[in-house]
Amino acid sequence: MSEIANKLLEGTSKPAPRPAMLVLEDGAAFRGTSCAAEGEVYGEICFNTSLEGYLEVVTDPSYAGQIVTMTYPQIGNYGVNPDDAQAGEPALRGLVVRDMCTAPSNWRSVLSLPDYLRDHGVVAVEGVDTRALVRHVRDCGAQRAVLSTVDVDEASLLRKVRASEPLVGQNLAATVSCEKPHAVGAGDLPASHAFAVAPAVPACHRVVAYDCGAKRSILQNLVRSGCELTVVPWDTPAEEVLAMAPDGVFLSNGPGDPEAVEGTYSQVEKILGQVPVFGICLGHQMIAKAAGAAIEKLKFGHRGGNHPVMNLLTGRVEITAQNHGFGLVFPSLGELVPELSGGFKGHEDDLRFWARAGIAPVVDNPRFGRIRLTHVNLNDGTAEGVAFLDIPAFSVQYHPEASPGPTDAHYLFTAFGRLMDGREDYLDIDIAADRLAGWTFGEQAATVAGAEGGSHA
């Protein structure tokens, strides 16, 4: 930067610029300035389209092994409250933003995002043309990348990134799972969330949750919906889980290549059919792997809080929060059952076909019987949810806990409780009525609406 530009910056909240560079393995390079910890990190480049919730993104264990680009232009403007963190430490490798706010303004803010990132040793860069970067990843696909504040030589960084380890084949779930079983209860819910979220309902179901990189808010939502929760490491033997006599088993989100997490899906295969099972994100893929399905790597993944998903059972569209780079290949679960699939006999690669047809197709799985496709991504036609018809189990590819993101999918926690109660109609829920369940502003809105209705009577 020029001397006059540096002089102008000295009079603002921005620190003196320090050069940083991001280089992708295909040779694409993006220059910027460091805005957090110093260092050099390697990972798979990805992007998140959420408008808010940057702290939840930074601390989501599902981002282990990745360098995350935020598409929203200014990040950090409302600061950081540690109660909103999804794990004790950030798991991502690095962060890329257009503009980093160093002087946040919000009544809940405890410190700035740059200070939080520095405290936790996270390398971050600002001043990058994130629109150009995202377009490049969309066109060319996910790939290895290096982010450095100590080496800004393009040729040097390109050599390094091409020699780095790819994400495919790594068991990253093992790096972010808990070390030993532990309980999560109502006493673990953040007191600072009470202004918006209602207290937990009394526990009525005993649930064991496999931690493959679980976000705190997902576990908190299980507790709020009435689960007495025991969290176990990713590779806990099925025999130990079943010996706890749970009413249900939950399979969490998590990072990386699902093919590498055999320690989980080999145990899930033993649990399916024994107790009700609910899986999300990586947990959805663990159920699919247990059923013998194939998993594909998506070109650039789904990450953000605005992904439209159609519930094929109800025809309703949910705006969902997602974070994954792999997905279920639905046809690999088995052959279609024509009499339960609108008479159709052949699979479709683009699952939006079933959304247009208004049909939730069913396959005959060699291991677990009939499995129904319940949810489809309307952006690219990939599988977003399945329900087993002959055993009590279902799963979705997205995150229903809204941290960050919309609350459309909250009904899935309600559905899990109904499944554990033995109800066959567990997924038959009015999502419009359920989406504000547990939020105090939902109760306040109902109270105001009631008062207004009374005043007009």
282 is in an annotated binding site: yes
285 is in an annotated binding site: yes
Q: List the catalytic residue out of 44, 318, 401, 410.
A: 401
Is the distance from CB of 76 to CB of 112 less than 8 angstroms?
Answer: yes
Q: Transcribe 88-134 into DSSP letters.
A: SS---SEEE-SEE-SS---TT--B-HHHHHHHTT-EEEES--HHHHH
Is the distance from CB of 397 to CB of 327 less than 8 angstroms?
Answer: yes
Q: In terms of C-beta density within 10 A (0-12 exposed, 13-18 middle, 19 or more buried), how is residue 315 classed?
A: exposed
What distance in Å separates the CA atoms of residue 431 and residue 445, rounded to the nearest whole number? 17
> Does 302 participate in catalysis according to the annotation?
no
304 is in an annotated binding site: no
Q: What is the DSSP letter of 298?
A: E
Residues facing residue 100 across a β-bridge: 75
How distant is the alpha carbon of residue 383 from its chain centre? 15
> Does 410 participate in catalysis according to the annotation?
no
442 is in an annotated binding site: no
Q: Which residues contact 57 (CB under 8 A, 6 or more apart)?
A: 48, 50, 63, 68, 70, 92, 404
51 is in an annotated binding site: no
Q: Where are the beta strands (DSSP E) in 149-204?
A: 182-184
Neighbours of 191 (CB within 10 A): 8
What distance in Å separates the CA atoms of residue 284 and residue 65, rounded to the nearest whole number? 20
Q: How far is CA 245 from each of CA 177, 211, 290, rounded to the nearest angstrom?
A: 22, 18, 21
325 is in an annotated binding site: yes
Roughly how many angstroms between the first and final C-alpha of the chain, as a whole number?
A: 67
388 is in an annotated binding site: no
> Does 10 participate in catalysis according to the annotation?
no
- Enter the tokens of residue 121: 């040793």
Candidates 178, 215, 152; CA nearest to 19 is: 152
220 is in an annotated binding site: no
What distance in Å separates the CA atoms of residue 418 and residue 206, rounded to the nearest whole number? 13
Neighbours of 229 (CB within 10 A): 21
How distant is the alpha carbon of residue 354 from its chain centre? 25
Q: List the catalytic residue out of 212, 281, 284, 347.
A: 281
Binding residues: 62, 254, 256, 282, 285, 323, 325-326
Binding residues for L-glutamine are 62, 254, 256, 282, 285, 323, 325-326
Active site residues: 281, 399, 401
